[in-house]
Amino acid sequence: MAQTADHIPGARLFTAGSLLPDLDRAVHALRPATPDQARHAIQAALRDRRAITAYATATRAVRPAFAAFWASYLSGFRDTLRGYGPASASLELLDGLRIVDFLAGTTIVELKTGHLDGAHHLEALVDQVLAYALLAPVCGHPATAVAMYLARYHVLAYYPLDILFSRLAEQPINTIEAGHHLSTLVQAEGPRQPPAVPIRELTTVTGPSEMGPG
């Protein structure tokens, strides 16, 4: 959604960006680590010729799938998402116990590129964005809406939070009180184990938002 990426061809953007989820997982696995330790770990990974060859092969294989996503994104979704306001990516809540894909203005945006074939996938997605919506104000980030961008299906679902909460609860609720209660539960649960750096599937574009720990 960054305007500075407008002049970069989609394939090149994807080639550079496809490494970021794995590097992000590697850095999270090092916690608690100093910035210097994280930098050395990333540099060591990027100097591994076998790893770079594997990433290059996998990236080339999934470029056709990304091309379809990119064309769809440019067809109107980008303008809509930008219309929500200035975006912050990977917004950490509760010191990183939960991570929002994007906060655009006051809209929480969750991006999914994978398959959502089962009802449990959609239920998990709704639970995920509702948790973010409750936790964000507690962490100093006002939220008035949620948007779920299902790139594989070319769908963007947008819901004002006041309407969504009232429909789900079937009665007025104190969202600030609910957010504080949820934050207590999340903090008591503690950090989730970071997922292992995956071997990429050649037919699927994967990313940190694949129903992951965000």
Kindly write down the DSSP assignment for every residue of 43-64, as one continuous string: HHHHT-HHHHHHHHHHHHHHHH
CA dihedral of residues 171, 177, 178, 182 (deg, nearest 10):
-170
pLDDT at 183: 93
Phi/psi of residue 5, nearest 5 degrees? -95, 0
pLDDT at 19: 65
Among 20-29, 128-137, 172-181, the minimum mean pLDDT is found in 20-29
Instruction: Give, in degrees to the nearest 5, the angle at Cα 17 between 13 and 19.
Output: 140
Instruction: Give, in degrees to the nearest 5, the angle at Cα 187 between 194 and 145.
Output: 85
**From start to end of 21-143, where are the E strands?**
87-93, 98-104, 107-112
Kindly state the average pLDDT of the residues 176-200. Answer: 76
Kindly state the average pLDDT of the residues 110-114. Answer: 88
* CA dist., res. 146 & res. 158, Å (int): 6
Query: Tokens 């290059």 — which residue?
Result: 56
pLDDT at 195: 47
Answer yes or no: is pLDDT of 10 > 70: no
Answer yes or no: is pLDDT of 168 > 60: yes
Query: Using 50, 70 and 90 to split pLDDT, how confident is the model at 21?
Result: low
Answer yes or no: is pLDDT of 198 > 70: no
Select the more confidently predicted residue: 188 or 69.
188
pLDDT at 207: 39
pLDDT at 39: 79
* CA dist., res. 1 & res. 111, Å (int): 12
Answer yes or no: is pLDDT of 106 > 90: yes
Among 3-7, 8-12, 83-87, the minimum mean pLDDT is found in 3-7
pLDDT at 205: 38
Contacts of 102 (CB under 8 A, 6+ apart): 1, 81, 87, 88, 89, 91, 108, 109, 110, 111
* Cβ atoms within 10 Å, residue 205: 21
Phi/psi of residue 25, nearest 5 degrees? -65, -40
Among 22-26, 33-37, 140-144, the minimum mean pLDDT is found in 22-26
pLDDT at 78: 92
